[in-house]
Amino acid sequence: MRAGGSPGVSRRDVLRAALVGAGGIALGGSLAACATPSAAGAGRPAVMIWDLFSGGDGALMQEMVAAVAAENPDIRLDSTTLAWGSPYYTKLAMASSGGRPPEAAVMHMSRLAGYAPGGLLEPFDLDALAALGVRQEHFAPAVWEKAQYDGQLYALPLDTHPYILFNNPELVGQAGLTGADGKLDYDAISGTDGFLAAGRAVAEVTGETGVGWGYLRDPAGCWRMFWGLYTQNGGGYDLVPGRKAELDVDAAVEVFEFLQEMVDGTVAARNQDGGAASGRFMSGRAGMMFSGEWDLPMFRDALPEVGATPFPTIFDQPANYADSHAFVLPRQAHADPAAREATYRVLAGLLKQSMTWASAGHIPAYQPVVEQDAYQELTPQRDYARAAEIAVFDPDVWFSGGGSDFQNRMGDAMTDTLSGEAPPRTAVDRILREMDRLLSQPNPA
Amino acid sequence: MSVADLVAVRRASAAQQRAENRTLTKLTIGPSPWARAGALAALIVLAALWLVPLAWGTVTSFKHEAEAALPASWWPAQGWTLEAYQQVLSNSDLLVWMWNSLVVATLVTFLTVLISAMAAFAFSQTIFKGRGLLQWLTIASIMMPGQILIVPLFRQMQALGLVDTFWGIVLPQVVAPVMVFILKRFFDAIPSELLDAARIDGAGPWRLFWTIVLPLSRSILVAVAIFVFIGAWNNFLWPFIVTTDPQFMTLPVGLSTVKNAYGVQYAQNMASAMIAALPLLVVFMLFQRRIVQGVATTGMGGQ
Amino acid sequence: MTVSNPSITAPAGKAPVRQPAGAGAAGGTRKSLRERDRSGYLFVAPFAVAVGFFLVWPTLYGLWMSFTDQSLTGTGSEFIGFDNYAEAFSDPQVWETLLHTLWFTVLSTVPLVLVALIMALLVHTGLPGQWVWRMSFFAPYLLTSAVVSALSAWLFQPDIGLLDTWMTQLGLQPIGWLTDEDVAMFSIALVTVWWTVGFNFLLYLAALQGIPQQQYEAATIDGAGGWRRLFSITLPQLRTITGVIVVLQLLASLKVFDQIYLLTGGGPNGSTRPILEYIYDTGFTNYRLGYASAISYVFFALILVFTLVRLMPARKEA
């Protein structure tokens, strides 16, 4: 590092100065261009949609967006996929509170309680929707009800998406778990012992593990698994802000006892995250796989015959964890009527593309699509459509919901127990402690 | 100077460098070949360890997606492919973010160097009322960690309508009191005879600044500029806070915020990372000496 | 405090800056001829405006916010006195995340100084391959946190990651690099060392090159061996720069956010969450801007105390 040792410096300096100069000119140009973003597409309203579909389903949302864009050539339609979970909702809130929010965004219905009261969203105009052929009677009453806040519609439901069990028909067949129709026998995987036995049987076929479940670095996945099983085991809850959380501790402990038994290295691998578990399942190193139905497109790419069932009834009562995606309208600082009108047209168009969305695995909320024969014939979708009937959603409290900090905290609280480093009771204690903490905080919205 | 001359000078300088290095080796570890071999082995092991993450990322980025998700292997059975790079370049906004980063880092560098040099000149070569107070304030502001201001700054940018704009990303980054002091120290050391002679000739402060001080300080200005540029190019927290529109995100923010819609794609992740890493690595290889020197002098400058 | 405070303006003696000839000489005569007109204001104005606008104002505004219940959604901006501070002092998360921050600072600073020193000493031997060594050690510093996180998450990937593959090949149990509460912070410190050690390495290298060769020559004539020279000449000469590096490193590590946010998001089970992430989560994820500001100021106060304490000895020496 002897200064001044190189004789070429001055020439290089000139070169670099020239480069910087050229960059500066180009820069001035680009800044000028950015100052007037609307000039470029004057006359054509721009509609941007944010989504959080970074699983395989995002590709299908892009397909739907492309179809709607083709139907509406007068709209500049674009969509962006942001990182799922807390970061997505944080960005959405920040944008709505005074950045450049997108015209529309996808949201979990379970998150509505954290957004609508704070004025981050705008309600839908029912007349405008009706004019586009989207009316209340097109949705299941329970779903429509969940989309309301303060007597107004704040979310346009897109789907119900349960957390289910995929299977590789060939491998479960070899393990003797299929019924007369050649599909995985739902009864053969029911009950704690039944499921574990089935897992071992499949593991024998694969030579590695029976069922893929990537619990590491996926707190939301852990929470879905737990909350579904806990409900199956008859567990109730009492979560009232300002009071202590109340859960059925025994029921919860039993759930963790089961999960620890499952993550034994044979039934399910001890040390894997979602990506690794998917990889195992797709490469035939696991014959079953717990995941959201949204992973269907990805799995079908690798396993064209992939099968699926609702979440197995491992405890007494059938229950299947699920959530709902919906479109919302982030608050615009300067509402543009033309853009708003275009947004309604786009969203109505997207709902009518629900058949494509169904091929992603989701159960469409827009009933006219579900009632079509074409949907009734989709496999394996029809094999798990029952899941919607036994759906159990996140607890009804302001901090819960898909991609929430709550789910992260819950999932984190159980990691040590799931990996076998702590007893089942530890997870339950930690869950209660986190719930207490959240319940003691003021609702900021 | 012809190319041949340049090459000759280069060679001579390289030869001289080698001779100096040999002397250094004798002075530091002595003549023992065993000690030398030991030191060399230690260097090789350390360097290899330091290169593993980059090498592994590079290897992964040239694999087929399906193979990238299999247990680690350095040599893919299905052969090498540019698939991941093609996917990333055609399906993501990587190039937009890279351009944004270039614009932002260039603006930050230019403005920081300019206003810091001007302030340093004022502190070093002019006398005005309140100078002491201002210098004291500048020192005090060195202690202010900008990171804790994210909340009020975000509010301020909202009020100014600068969220999701280049200026919103750039302006808060141009405050660099440390750089003012590095430059002031350098300006203080400019021989006063030079400046006095110019003053006697009737040169005003602007002429002093532009024709004497800045040209004499070229090396330190370049050092500061390099340091500021690297910092601005890689800055994450502030651009992350102040951009919500993916079209205005810088490279680090876009990479970590926007995901592709096709599920976890390891090869594509690594291809994006490699593309994002490339510009500064190439610049570093080209201007290694300057950058090493710039970082070393500026890095210590605050002290 | 004036500019003559040696801790700020004393030339970093060994810095390889090309000092113009006659540096520092004849300060007296220069003063008489310095401009006495208003040009000083003009030169300092852009910087002063920037400081006022982007440092002083947000500092004051944030202070005011910390006494309100301002929310990101725009609801509520009531003055609530010291309520936020009272909550912060009794909020276990504040202390927990502060502790994580300090733990990370300790875990990262020690190796960041020691490894950098070893690297610099090895490279300073002048052994062949100088270009390669510098490139290898410094290159990671040029990567942005997003790239560093992507690369290291891939190395740490459970089951199919390179590190777990190696562990398995060696017949060891895979490690939950980022998923085990007891391990995650070490992994993050490891990544941080890999990422930023190059900077300290360059500072050490610059300092080493400033040691006069005559000292070594004299020692060699006296018959001092390599280790002897290392301990009696090299290391003592590095005392000042080590102090500088340690302080710079401490201040940098206290502000950790990027790599933790990107690698673990503060998990598993909140075990790696630093205070800056708690501020971010509180203000932006949970909308509580007022409370987030209050936590910021508690943190700021601690950094300030630390900075002042370390300035103290410098003053005494003067």
pLDDT digits (tens, 9 = 90+) for A386-406: 888 888 889 988 888 888 889
Domain covering A162-322+390-440: architecture: 3-Layer(aba) Sandwich (3.40)
CB hemisphere CA count around A57 (13 angstroms): 24
The pLDDT score that the predictor gives to residue A318 is 93
Which residue from C2, C55, C296 is facing B151, i.e. has the nearest CB? C296
- The C-alpha atoms of residue B291 and residue A406 are separated, in whole angstroms, by 46
pLDDT of residue C279 exceeding 50, the answer is yes
- Under the banding of pLDDT at 50, 70 and 90, the label for residue C209 is confident
Residues 153-182 of chain B whose Cβ lies under 8 A from any Cβ of chain A: 154, 158, 163-166
Q: Are residues B64 and B133 in the same domain?
A: no
Write out pLDDT tens, residues A192-226.
999 999 999 999 999 999 999 988 888 889 999 99
- The C-alpha atoms of residue A61 and residue A159 are separated, in whole angstroms, by 12
Q: Are residues B60 and B144 in the same domain?
A: no
Q: Are residues B143 and B29 in the same domain?
A: no
- CB count within 10 Å of CB A397 equals 18
Neighbours of chain A (3+ CB pairs under 8 A): B, C
Q: How confident is the model over B266-285, as a mean pLDDT? A: 91
Inter-chain residue contact A93 with C158, CB threshold 8 Å: no
Closest residue in C to A117 (Cα) is C73
Residues 148-167 of chain A whose Cβ lies under 8 A from any Cβ of chain B: none
Residue B207 lies in a domain: yes
Percent of chain A at pLDDT above 90? Answer: 53
B67 touches chain A (CB under 8 A): no
The pLDDT score that the predictor gives to residue C6 is 32
Class of CATH domain C91-317? mainly alpha
> Which residues from chain A sit within 8 angstroms of residue B107, using beta carbons?
27
pLDDT of residue A8 exceeding 80, the answer is no
Write out pLDDT tens, residues B202-244.
888 888 899 989 999 998 999 899 989 999 999 999 999 999 8
Closest residue in B to A31 (Cα) is B166
Q: How confident is the model over B104-114, as a mean pLDDT? A: 96
Neighbours of chain C (3+ CB pairs under 8 A): A, B
Q: Are residues B127 and B252 in the same domain?
A: yes
User: Which of these ranges, A116-120, C14-18, C67-71, C92-96, has the smallest mean pLDDT?
Assistant: C14-18
Inter-chain residue contact A59 with B261, CB threshold 8 Å: yes
A12 touches chain B (CB under 8 A): yes
The pLDDT score that the predictor gives to residue A297 is 83
Inter-chain residue contact B266 with A95, CB threshold 8 Å: no
The pLDDT score that the predictor gives to residue B14 is 82
Higher pLDDT, B34 or C17: B34
C277 touches chain A (CB under 8 A): no
Inter-chain residue contact C181 with A415, CB threshold 8 Å: yes
Which residue from B69, B102, B296 is facing A279, i.e. has the nearest CB? B69
Residue B224 lies in a domain: yes
pLDDT of residue A9 exceeding 50, the answer is no
B296 touches chain A (CB under 8 A): yes
Residue B232 lies in a domain: yes
- CB count within 10 Å of CB B47 equals 20
Closest residue in C to B268 (Cα) is C150
pLDDT of residue C137 exceeding 60, the answer is yes
Q: Are residues B42 and B109 in the same domain?
A: no
Length of chain A: 445
- The C-alpha atoms of residue C139 and residue B295 are separated, in whole angstroms, by 13
Peptide bond connecting A442 to the previous residue in cis, omega within 30 degrees of 0: no
pLDDT of residue A27 exceeding 60, the answer is no
Which residue from C17, C71, C159 is facing A271, i.e. has the nearest CB? C159
Which residue from A84, A99, A282 is facing B245, i.e. has the nearest CB? A99
A275 touches chain C (CB under 8 A): yes
User: Which of these ranges, A172-176, A275-279, C71-75, C203-207, has the smallest mean pLDDT?
Assistant: C71-75
- The C-alpha atoms of residue C101 and residue C271 are separated, in whole angstroms, by 10
User: Which of these ranges, A111-115, A169-173, A280-284, C284-288, has the smallest mean pLDDT?
Assistant: A111-115
Q: CATH topology of A44-160+324-376 equal to that of A162-322+390-440?
A: yes
- Model's pTM, two decimal places? 0.83
- The C-alpha atoms of residue C228 and residue C240 are separated, in whole angstroms, by 20
Closest residue in C to B170 (Cα) is C54
Percent of chain B at pLDDT above 70? Answer: 97
> Which residues from chain C sit within 8 angstroms of residue B30, using beta carbons?
220, 225-226
Beta bridge partners of C275: none
- The C-alpha atoms of residue B134 and residue B118 are separated, in whole angstroms, by 14
Residue B145 lies in a domain: yes
Q: How confident is the model over B120-128, as a mean pLDDT? A: 89
Which tokens is A312 given?
């197995």
Which residue from A269, A416, A444 is facing C286, i.e. has the nearest CB? A444
pLDDT of residue C25 exceeding 80, the answer is no
Q: Are residues B38 and B101 in the same domain?
A: no
Q: Are residues B72 and B98 in the same domain?
A: no
Domain ranges of chain C: 91-317
Percent of chain A at pLDDT above 70? Answer: 89
Distance from CA of A115 to the nearest CA of C (A): 9
Cα distances (Å, whole numbers) of residue C268 to A268, A405, C175, C181, C273: 21, 13, 14, 6, 9
Residue span of the structural domain in which B160 resides: 92-258
- Under the banding of pLDDT at 50, 70 and 90, the label for residue B166 is very high
Residue B14 lies in a domain: yes
Beta-carbon contacts of A183 under 8 Å, excluding residues fewer than 6 positions away, are A169, A307, A383
The pLDDT score that the predictor gives to residue A99 is 66
User: Which of these ranges, A302-316, B93-107, C151-165, has the smallest mean pLDDT?
Assistant: C151-165
A17 touches chain B (CB under 8 A): no
> Which residues from chain A sit within 8 angstroms of residue C205, using beta carbons?
1
Inter-chain residue contact B233 with C144, CB threshold 8 Å: yes
- The C-alpha atoms of residue B57 and residue B85 are separated, in whole angstroms, by 13
- Under the banding of pLDDT at 50, 70 and 90, the label for residue C275 is very high
Inter-chain residue contact C54 with B125, CB threshold 8 Å: no
- The C-alpha atoms of residue C188 and residue C260 are separated, in whole angstroms, by 7
Which residue from A272, A409, A421 is facing C159, i.e. has the nearest CB? A272
CATH code, A44-160+324-376: 3.40.190.10
Q: Are residues B231 and B139 in the same domain?
A: yes
Alpha helices in A284-366 (DSSP H): 296-302, 337-352, 354-359
Inter-chain residue contact A100 with B164, CB threshold 8 Å: yes
Inter-chain residue contact A274 with B257, CB threshold 8 Å: no
**In contact, C245 and C201? CB cutoff 8 Å:** no
> Which residues from chain C sit within 8 angstroms of residue A263, using beta carbons?
none
Inter-chain residue contact C1 with B300, CB threshold 8 Å: no
pLDDT of residue A142 exceeding 90, the answer is no
> Which residues from chain C sit within 8 angstroms of residue B131, using beta carbons?
40, 44
- Relative to beta strand A320-323, strand A391-392 is parallel
Higher pLDDT, B294 or A363: A363
- CB count within 10 Å of CB C25 equals 13
C74 touches chain A (CB under 8 A): yes
Which amino acid is located at B190 in the chain?
I
Inter-chain residue contact C59 with B30, CB threshold 8 Å: no
The pLDDT score that the predictor gives to residue A37 is 40
Which residue from A1, A3, A445 is facing C287, i.e. has the nearest CB? A445
Q: How confident is the model over B246-252, as a mean pLDDT? A: 91
Domain ranges of chain A: 44-160+324-376, 162-322+390-440
pLDDT of residue C223 exceeding 80, the answer is no
